[in-house]
C-alpha cells in the first residue's frame, strides 16, 4: 500500500479552479463547437459530431484538470482550448470508427491524421475523409485541427515537449486504427503490434493493458500542461511520459473499460477488460495499476497535482451509474479503499456532481 500525505489546501484550490473556472470554460468551448457541428451538411457526420459533444463531454471536463492546474494568465486559457479541441477530435473520430459501419484500417489511419496534425503547429492540413464513405463536414474537422494548432503554438515549452507528445499520439492513432478493424483480425493485429513494445516495459503487464494505456489522452495533456511553462526541461518531459505510459494512462482506460463491459458486450465492441479471467482478476489488476500510478506520481515534479489526478480517476469512473451494479461492488470498494481517503471524498463529490447534471 502506497501511503499518501495529502496537501489539503493545494488540492482544494485545484478542485475549486476545476469546478468554477475550467468547467465553465469547457462549456463555452463545447457550445461553440456544437454550433459548428450543427451546420455539418452530411447527416451521418453531423449526427456523430453532435453525439460526441453531448455524450462524451465529460472527457473534456476531465482533461480540463490540467488547465485548472495551470495559471489562467500564464497560458491556462490556451491550454484548455487545445485540450478541448484535441479531445473533441478524439471523440468524434472514435464515433466515426465505431458507429458508421466502416472497417477499413486505411480509412481510419487517414482520419487520424487530424489528431497528429492538430499536435503539429504549422502542419498543412490533409483530406481526412479520403477513403471514408462520408466527407462533407463543412470544414468542422479542419477547424478543430486549426484551433488546436493555434493554441499549442502559444505554449512556450511546446517545442521541448513535442517529440514525446507525437510519440504518444502515434501510439494512440495506431491503436484506434487497429482496434476498429473487423473482429476476425483485430486481436491478432493488436498483439503483433504490441508484443515488441511490451519488452520496453519494466514490469509484467498484459498486451491488452498496454493497448489500453496507448488509448489514453491524459499523457498528452500532461505534457501539454508542462509545455505551458518557460522552464520545462526534456528530463521532466521524459519522466512524465514514463509515468503516464503505461501506468496512469493504463489506469485511466482500464477503469473506462471496466465500467463499460456490459454496454460493450451488448454493442459487440472490443473491451480490454474482458480478456481477464474474471472480475476478481480485473479488480486485482486495477489495484496493481493504481499502486504503480501512485508511486510514479509521487516522484514527479508537482507530485500533489499528479496524485490528485490518479486519485481522481477511480472517483470519476466508479461514481458512474454503470459501476453501480452488485457485480462491481467488491471491486469498486477495494479500488477506492486502495486509492485512499481523498479518492473516497472525490467519489462522493463526483456522485453529487452527477446528480446535479454537472458531469
Domain ranges of the chain: 11-154, 199-359
Residue 124 Ramachandran class (φ > 0 left, ψ -120 to 50 alpha, else beta): beta
Supply 182's cell numbers. 473487423
pLDDT confidence of residue 6: 57
3-state secondary structure of 274: helix
pLDDT confidence of residue 327: 84
pLDDT confidence of residue 115: 98
DSSP letters of 182-230? -HHHHHHHHHHHHHHHHTTSSS---HHHHHHHHT-SHHHHHHHHHTTST
pLDDT confidence of residue 4: 59
3-state secondary structure of 350: helix
More confident residue, 73 or 7: 73
Task: Indicate the length of the chain as a whole number.
Answer: 359
Element holding 276 (H helix, E strand): none
Distance in angstroms (rounded) separating the CA atoms of residues 271 and 171: 18
pLDDT tens digits for range 141-164? 999 999 999 999 999 999 999 999
DSSP letters of 61-89? HHHTHHHHHS-IIIIIHHHHHHHHHHHHH
At what angle are helices 279-298 and 303-318 packed, to 10 degrees? 160
Distance in angstroms (rounded) separating the CA atoms of residues 233 and 260: 38
pLDDT tens digits for range 194-216? 999 998 887 889 999 999 999 99
pLDDT band at 269 (very low <50, low <70, confident <90, very high): confident
Distance in angstroms (rounded) separating the CA atoms of residues 86 and 92: 10
Q: Cα 199 to chain center, whole Å?
A: 24
Give backbone dihedrals phi and psi of 12, rounded to 5 degrees, phi first: -65, -40
pLDDT tens digits for range 78-116? 999 999 999 999 999 999 998 666 778 899 999 999 999
pLDDT band at 71 (very low <50, low <70, confident <90, very high): confident
Query: Average pLDDT of the chain?
Result: 94
Entry pTM: 0.95
Amino acid at each position: 500500500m502506497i501511503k499518501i500525505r495529502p496537501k489539503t489546501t493545494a488540492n482544494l484550490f485545484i478542485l475549486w479552479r476545476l469546478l468554477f473556472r475550467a468547467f465553465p470554460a469547457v462549456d463555452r468551448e463545447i457550445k461553440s463547437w456544437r454550433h459548428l457541428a450543427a451546420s455539418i451538411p452530411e447527416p451521418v457526420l453531423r449526427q456523430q459530431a453532435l453525439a460526441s459533444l453531448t455524450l462524451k463531454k465529460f472527457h473534456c471536463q476531465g482533461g480540463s484538470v490540467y488547465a485548472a492546474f495551470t495559471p489562467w494568465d500564464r497560458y491556462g486559457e490556451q491550454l484548455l482550448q487545445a485540450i478541448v479541441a484535441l479531445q473533441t477530435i478524439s471523440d468524434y473520430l472514435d464515433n466515426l470508427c465505431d458507429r458508421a459501419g466502416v472497417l477499413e484500417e486505411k480509412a481510419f489511419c487517414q482520419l487520424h491524421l487530424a489528431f497528429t496534425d492538430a499536435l503539429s503547429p504549422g502542419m498543412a492540413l490533409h483530406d481526412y475523409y479520403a477513403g471514408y464513405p462520408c466527407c462533407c463536414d463543412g470544414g468542422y474537422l479542419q477547424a478543430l485541427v486549426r484551433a488546436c494548432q493555434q493554441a499549442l503554438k502559444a505554449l512556450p515549452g511546446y517545442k521541448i515537449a513535442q517529440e514525446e507528445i507525437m510519440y504518444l499520439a502515434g501510439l494512440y492513432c495506431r491503436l484506434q486504427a487497429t482496434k476498429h478493424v473487423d473482429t476476425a483480425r483485430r486481436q491478432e493485429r493488436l498483439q503483433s503490434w504490441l508484443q515488441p513494445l511490451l519488452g520496453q516495459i519494466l514490469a509484467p503487464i498484459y498486451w491488452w493493458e498496454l493497448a489500453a494505456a496507448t488509448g489514453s489522452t491524459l499523457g498528452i495533456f500532461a505534457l501539454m500542461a508542462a509545455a505551458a511553462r518557460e522552464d520545462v526541461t526534456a528530463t521532466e518531459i521524459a519522466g512524465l511520459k514514463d509515468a503516464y505510459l503505461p501506468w496512469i494512462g493504463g489506469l485511466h482506460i482500464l477503469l473506462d473499460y471496466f465500467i463499460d463491459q456490459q454496454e460493450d458486450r451488448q454493442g459487440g465492441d472490443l473491451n480490454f477488460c474482458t480478456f481477464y479471467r474474471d472480475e476478481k482478476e480485473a479488480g486485482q489488476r486495477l489495484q496493481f495499476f493504481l499502486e504503480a500510478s501512485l508511486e510514479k506520481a509521487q516522484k514527479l515534479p508537482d507530485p500533489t497535482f499528479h496524485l490528485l489526478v490518479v486519485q481522481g480517476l477511480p472517483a470519476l469512473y466508479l461514481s458512474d451509474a454503470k459501476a453501480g451494479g452488485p457485480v462491481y461492488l467488491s471491486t469498486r470498494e477495494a479500488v477506492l479503499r486502495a486509492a485512499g481517503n481523498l479518492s473516497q471524498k472525490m467519489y462522493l463529490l463526483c456522485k453529487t456532481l452527477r446528480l446535479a447534471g454537472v458531469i
